[in-house]
Amino acid sequence: QPRERASRRELAAVEARVAELEARVADLVSRLEDPALYAQADGPRRAGKLGRELEEARRELEVQIECWAEAGDALDVRGAGVP
């Protein structure tokens, strides 16, 4: 039971991180889609920075989704009585 509780805590933490990253990606996409960004003198520079942040957030999101799936699978296996 303690391992299952730890797995559930890990799963909850990863789920929270995935949600956080999904919100970050959505925010960055929204900011990059805003035409006002490109109307500013430093808009292209800022857009480049936001684009790099978006790439990084998407990469981290992919990693966290993989961790989420692995944690969920491990919990399913334990719940099925497999050590």
The pTM of this model reads 0.82
Q: Would you give the DSSP letter of residue 41?
A: T
pLDDT at 78 > cutoff 60: no
What is the total count of domains within the chain? 1
Q: Under a CB-based contact definition with an 8 Å cutoff, are residues 60 and 68 in contact?
A: no
Res 30 pLDDT > 60: yes
Averaged over 58-74, what is the pLDDT?
Answer: 92
Which SS3 state, helix, strand or coil, does residue 55 take? helix
Which residue in this structure is represented by tokens 């730890």? 6
Could you tell me what percent of the chain has a pLDDT over 70? 92
Whole-number average pLDDT of the chain: 90
CATH code assigned at 74 = 1.10.287
Question: What phi and psi, each to the nearest 5 degrees, are found at residue 36?
Answer: -60, -30
* Residue range(s) defining the domain that contains residue 14: 2-79
Which is it for the CA torsion 73, 75, 77, 79, positive or negative?
negative
